[in-house]
Amino acid sequence: MKKPVLERPVLLDVQGITRLYGPAKGCEAIDFQLHAGEVLGIVGESGSGKSTLLRVLAGLEAPDAGRVVYRRSSGEPEAARSDVHEPDTARRGGTQALGGDPQANAEAELDLYAIGEARRRALLRLEWGLVHQNPRDGLRMGVSAGANIGERLMAQGQRHYGQLRATGQAWMGQVELDPGRIDDAPRTFSGGMQQRLQIARTLVTRPRLVFMDEPTGGLDVSVQARLLDMLRTLVRSLGLSVVLVTHDLAVARLLAHRLMVMRRGQVVETGLTDQILDDPQHEYTQLLVSSVLTP
Amino acid sequence: MHSMTNTRPRLTVNGLYKQFLLHGQGGLEIDVMRDLSLTLQAGECLVLAGRSGIGKSTLLKMLYGDYRIDQGRIRLHFDDGDLDLEALPTYAWHGLRRDVIGYVSQFLRVVPRVAAVDVVMEPLLARGADEAESRRRAETLLARLNLPERLWRLPPGTFSGGEQQRVNIARGFIGEHPLLLLDEPTASLDAANRDVVIALIGEAKARGTAMLGIFHDEDVRERVADRLLPLDGSLGGLSNASQTCRESLS
């Protein structure tokens, strides 16, 4: 029997990220690497700095210090990803948006806060995805479900109406929404449906890297279970790499391969999800794990 | 016993130690394992023996990455080299569990809303296997374990203990991992289903699977064990410490 291939390229290299609003408010000196295909959970109580860290990682808020480096050459080759609804023109359009310079695409590393606002926004739109806790922050509430799903595809250069609509319907089916409601505005959807629509809108472009902020946070428990199952399936079938922020250890157990525990802006413990939950080392992690109520 | 084409063991464990430190209990230190060593060959089922409650599961959990390794070495042997688990980076465990180490725990961790058959086929899908073929194999296993067909499409959350355990067994065996850890897989099964599990273990041996198991049922133990590993020396005298620790943590 041959040794298994366990090496995975680094997709995101986070170096000494600090973003403080006050003493112990925000996050401080955070280092980690996310490997291709990994789901990393960041857990902690409110005020631990996990959401601040996610905002910095996702390109929404510049850090006081440190670097977020995206290694684009990692993972699958570009060509292998153009199978879904992405004609060559779309990919070329994307490349141009990311710098207007053919050499930019060949760059192996992108320093998120050194590349400039325009290229950063293009990166977020074209290669990354962000799922907000509140779907209202990630959706356009006034336009149709189909337009919400199609927006990122159009940003990649797709203009064919029939194709956009077909893709929209296919994705509504994928997230268990009735494709017959493609022309309805999200404000007529329930909270759980809106969250599923936000996920479809984010994943339609097959992003390499997805950030999720409490994706099941505001939902009823019965709706949560359905969404969790859907996210697990999508992560596996699309081979997503994910940074997931949650305060819910049960959600972390179901979705994350490994965990980072934060407290007062700092990482107190990291490890395999099962290790953190079954064999916690740090005093705070032990307290956190033992405080969970089980029905 | 299975004839061995290769005398190199598949797994070597040397001088393993495990201690739990409970901060919430005033820094209480509990030694649950000291200086444990073993070797395991391909096609062999080694059964952990020792008093009930001395923490035999602790060893399986350390081998599966559930518990951290304080001291000692866990080494997997492959044709083209060795792999030391105590030195394995965290990100590598996911792939190792998918392809090399399988685990049948005592209790099924239920994912809400996922049908029994989907729970069983997930290890194959994780490797990118064909969905229809994976489903067919999952159904074959569930049928062999006498789980009524009407339950296959239901989430196992509401199943009886024995039904859940059979789902768990099917999920554990479907991947045909080269190293399989078995934590009381027959505990809540009737005689007919115990026989099925014993047959599955026999087939796994014939494939060359190395197995490390805990079986309280003496009859089952005698029928599956190629060797017994007495653990009272390395786990004993520690008086139910692992259990105490688990309770205070959960």
Residues 130-169 of B with CB under 8 A from A: none
Query: Rounded distance, CA A285 to CA A173, Å?
Result: 39
Does A274 contact B65 at a Cβ distance shorter than 8 Å?
yes
Distance CA A161, CA B186 (A): 58
Question: Has residue A222 got a pLDDT over 90?
Answer: no
**A·B CB contacts under 8 A:** 96
C-beta atoms of B65 and A226 within 8 A = no
Which residues in chain B have their CB less than 8 angstroms from residue A37's CB? 94
Q: State the average pLDDT over residues B213-222.
A: 93
Sign of CA dihedral B177, B173, B246, A279: positive
Per-residue model confidence (pLDDT) at position B247: 46
Residues in chain B within 8 Å Cβ distance of A271: 68, 90
Contact A275 B66 (CB under 8 A): yes
B241-249 and A283-290 helices, crossing angle to 10°: 70
Which amino acid type is present at position B19?
Q
A196 within 8 A of A230, measured Cβ to Cβ: yes
How far is residue B109 CA from its own chain's centroid?
Answer: 14
| Residues whose CB falls within 8 Å of the CB of residue A68, separated by 6 or more in sequence, listed in order | A12, A13, A14, A15, A17, A56, A57, A59, A111, A112, A113
Mean pLDDT for chain A overall:
87
Is A252 in contact with A246 (CB distance < 8 Å)? yes
Contact A229 B93 (CB under 8 A): no
Helix (H) or strand (E) holding A12: strand A10-22
Percent of chain A with pLDDT over 70: 87
- Write down the pLDDT at residue B130: 96
Which positions ≥6 away from B113 have C-beta within 8 Å?
A: A225, A226, A229, B155
Is there a contact between A53 and A66 (Cβ–Cβ < 8 Å)? no
pLDDT tens digits for range A122-147: 999 889 999 999 999 999 999 999 99
Which of A4, A279, A286 has its CB closest to that of B99? A4
Long-range CB pairs of A95-100, under 8 A, 24+ apart, other chains included: A97/A122, A97/A125, A97/A126, A97/A155, A98/A122, A98/A123, A98/A126
pLDDT at A73 (0 to 100): 66
- Distance CA(A236)–CA(A293), nearest Å, equals 29
Which among A35, A274, A289 is the nearest to B66, CB-wise?
A: A274
When the pLDDT of each residue in chain B is averaged and rounded to a whole number, the result is 90
Q: What is the value of pTM for the model shown?
A: 0.88
Within 10 angstroms of residue A232's Cβ, the number of other Cβ atoms is 16
Would you say the ipTM is above 0.90?
no
Inter-residue contact A228 to A251 (CB < 8 Å) = yes
CB A146 within 8 A of CB A185: no
Q: Under an 8 A CB cutoff, do A3 and B23 touch?
A: no
B248 CB-near residues (< 8 Å, 6+ apart): A290, B22, B24, B25
Three-state SS sequence of A247-283: CCHHHHHHHCCEEEEEECCEEEEEEEHHHHHHCCCCH
CA A155 – CA A29 distance, rounded (Å) = 35
Q: Could you tell me if A115 and A155 are in contact, meaning their C-beta atoms sit under 8 angstroms apart?
A: no
Query: Which residues make Cβ contacts (< 8 Å) with residue B32, sequence separation at least 6?
Result: B18, B19, B20, B55, B58, B235, B238, B241, B242, B245
Are B185 and B169 within 8 A, CB to CB?
yes
Asked if A283's CB is within 8 angstroms of B24's CB, the reply is: yes
Tens of pLDDT, residues A10-39: 999 999 999 999 888 999 999 999 999 999
